[in-house]
Amino acid sequence: MTRRNALALLFVAAPVVVSLALTPEPRAQATAPAPPASGAAVDSANFDTAKAIAALEASIKGRENAPAESVWKNVTGFKGMPAGRLLKVMEMGFSKGLGVNCLHCHHANDYASDDKRPKRAAREMMAFSRVVNAELKELKELESKEPAINCTTCHRGQVKPALNLPR
């Protein structure tokens, strides 16, 4: 098997190693933003990302620099990252990279849940990106000293990545 075929197989079969959950752990740890007062379900069209991020930031005040896994539930792929920084990665990286809000991957009142397929797919894509980024560092003929890919590389602010160039 060629190196290229092995890499292709690895990309397709990459293990799920990243959790993008942000539901806080119990204790004096953060709590998720309260559900709407009316008890109505929160739908994606009416979800206010800035308000949700602000509520999550307020809930971890004083612990922004603590490791994410000690503040939020179900964090596996970003262990050691400061909890406050993880919120920014979600807001600026994932949300903007795919042109979505938090509810694309998470339940409004249970960020730790793994029920949504897009969250599970994002974990797989993070594993894929890590493999590609490791390989990029081995390429000798690239002009960039630190070549890397991320969500935006392919998604360009859209859920479905561009697979074909416009004619």
| CATH number of the domain enclosing 107 | 1.10.468
Amino acid 77: pLDDT: 83
Amino acid 41: pLDDT: 61
Q: How far apart (Å, rounded) are the C-alpha atoms in residues 24 and 39?
A: 21
39 by Cβ neighbours in 10 Å (0-12 / 13-18 / 19+) ranks as exposed
* Domain presence at residue 76: yes
* Domain presence at residue 105: yes
Provide the domain limits for residue 30: 20-34+46-155
* Domain presence at residue 141: yes
* Domain presence at residue 160: no
Round to the nearest angstrom and report the end-to-end CA distance of the chain. Answer: 35
* Spans of the chain below 70 pLDDT: 1-41
Q: Which residues pair with 72 in a beta bridge?
A: 24
* Domain presence at residue 28: yes
* Domain presence at residue 5: no
- The C-alpha angle 20, 88, 12, rounded to 5 degrees, equals 35
Instruction: With 0.75 as the threshold, say if the pTM is over it.
Output: no
* Domain presence at residue 82: yes
Q: How far apart (Å, rounded) are the C-alpha atoms in residues 101 and 111?
A: 12
Amino acid 76: pLDDT: 82
* Domain presence at residue 60: yes
Domain count along the chain: 1
